[in-house]
Structure 1
Amino acid sequence: MFNGNTVDYRDAPLTNDGFWPDLNLREFQVNRKLPADLDNDMLANALLATVAEINLDLQRLKLRLQATGYPTAAAVPGISINGSTALVSQYKKAVYARAKADLLGEYATLVSRAPNPGQESPDARNRLLAEAAVVLRNMKGLKRATVRMI
C-alpha cells in the first residue's frame, strides 16, 4: 500500500430496498480495509447476501418506523455527522462487519501475502459477527444481552 501505487477499488453501487440506504462496494472495501486483490464479484456477492440477511432481520424495525411516518432510515431523526444519521451508520456498520466476517474464510486461499494476524486470526470472524449482532440489537432497542427462560 505504501509503494506509491494507488489502490483501485471497484465503484459498484448496491441499490437497496428504498428504506435502508444504498451501499457501495468501494465504501465497503475502504471501510473494512479489505485487500484490493480480492475478487470484486466475490465481494459484491458477499455484500449482497449480507444485505438480504440483515434486511430480513430488521424487517420488524423497518415496518415500525414506516408506520410511524418515516419513509427511509435516513429520515429517522437522531444524532448525525456529515449528513449521515446514527441509524444509517449503524446499518452500514452491521452490514460491513457481517460481510467481512463471511469473507474471512476466503482470505487464506485467495490473498497472496503473509497472513495479517489482526485480520485473519481465528477469532476475527467471531469478533466481527459479535460486532454486527450488538449493533443490530441496539437498532432494535434491545440491550446487549438478554436472558430468556426456555
Structure 2
Amino acid sequence: MSLTGNPTLTSASAITNDGFWPNLSIADLLNNYRVPAEYADSVISTGLVMAIVRVNDVLYPVKEAVVSMGFNVFAAYVAAHHPQAVNSVNMLELNYHNAVHTRAKAGLLQQFNSMNRKPNAENAAKESESTEQYFLDESQLSIKALFDAVLPDAVVFGSANTYASLL
C-alpha cells in the first residue's frame, strides 16, 4: 500500500523502445516525475508508451540525421559527439528521457478528471491546463535541445503551443 491507501504498483518494468532511442523505465517515471499512485499499472504503462511514440515521431528528423552519419543507436552518436554528462548521465540522453517523461506526465495528470475520488478542488493543480502546459513545455524544451545538438539549423520552438498568425 502507498501512503494514500492505494495499492502500490506491481510493475516498474522497462519499456522497450524502437532500438535507436534508449529504453525507458516506468520506475524512473514514477520516482523522478512523481506520477500519482492512484493510477493502475496499465494506465501508467500506456501513458509512457504513448509519450514515447509521440516524442519519437517529433524527433524522427534527428534520428534520420544521426543514422545518416553512420550511427545505428542514439547512444553511439552521443558517445562520439556529445560526451558531456551531469551526475554521470549524458546530457542529450537526459534530454530524451525528460522529453518523454514530462510528456507522459502531462497526459497522465489530465486523466484525474475521469477517476473516482474526492471533490475536484482537491486535485485542481494536478489537472489544470497550466500544469499540463508546463509539462508539455518542458518536453518541448528537451526536444529543442536534441534538435539543436544534431540539426542546429532546424527551426524548433521551445514551447509546446507556439502559434503564428498572419497580420
TM-score w.r.t. structure 1 length?
0.81
Contact 1:37/1:111 (8 A) holds in 2: no
Other-structure match for 1:60:
61
2:92 is equivalent to residue 87 of structure 1: yes
One-letter code of the match for 1:87?
L
Q: Runs of 5+ in structure 1 lacking a partner?
A: none
Shift of 1:113: 5.7
TM-score w.r.t. structure 2 length?
0.74
In 2, the alpha carbon distance for the partners of 1:17 and 1:67 equals 17
In 2, the alpha carbon distance for the partners of 1:2 and 1:51 equals 27
Contact 1:13/1:24 (8 A) holds in 2: yes
Change in Cα spacing, 1:66 to 1:83, as seen in structure 2 (3 Å) is farther
Instruction: Indicate the SS of the match to 2:129.
Output: coil
Other-structure match for 2:110:
105
Shift of 1:67: 1.8
Change in Cα spacing, 1:148 to 1:126, as seen in structure 2 (3 Å) is closer
Shift of 1:107: 1.6
In 2, the alpha carbon distance for the partners of 1:126 and 1:134 equals 12
Other-structure match for 1:144:
158
2:8 is equivalent to residue 8 of structure 1: yes
Shift of 1:110: 2.4
In 2, the alpha carbon distance for the partners of 1:42 and 1:8 equals 13
In 2, the alpha carbon distance for the partners of 1:81 and 1:131 equals 18
Q: Runs of 5+ in structure 2 lacking a partner?
A: 149-155
CA RMSD across the alignment: 2.9
Count of paired positions: 148
2:34 is equivalent to residue 33 of structure 1: yes
One-letter code of the match for 1:12?
S
Change in Cα spacing, 1:39 to 1:133, as seen in structure 2 (3 Å) is same
Change in Cα spacing, 1:78 to 1:113, as seen in structure 2 (3 Å) is farther
What percent identity do the matched residue pairs reach? 25
The residue correspondences of 1:19-30 to structure 2 (distance < 5 A) are 19-30=20-31
Shift of 1:82: 4.7
In 1, the alpha carbon distance for the partners of 2:137 and 2:23 equals 23
Contact 2:2/2:37 (8 A) holds in 1: no
In 2, the alpha carbon distance for the partners of 1:57 and 1:140 equals 10
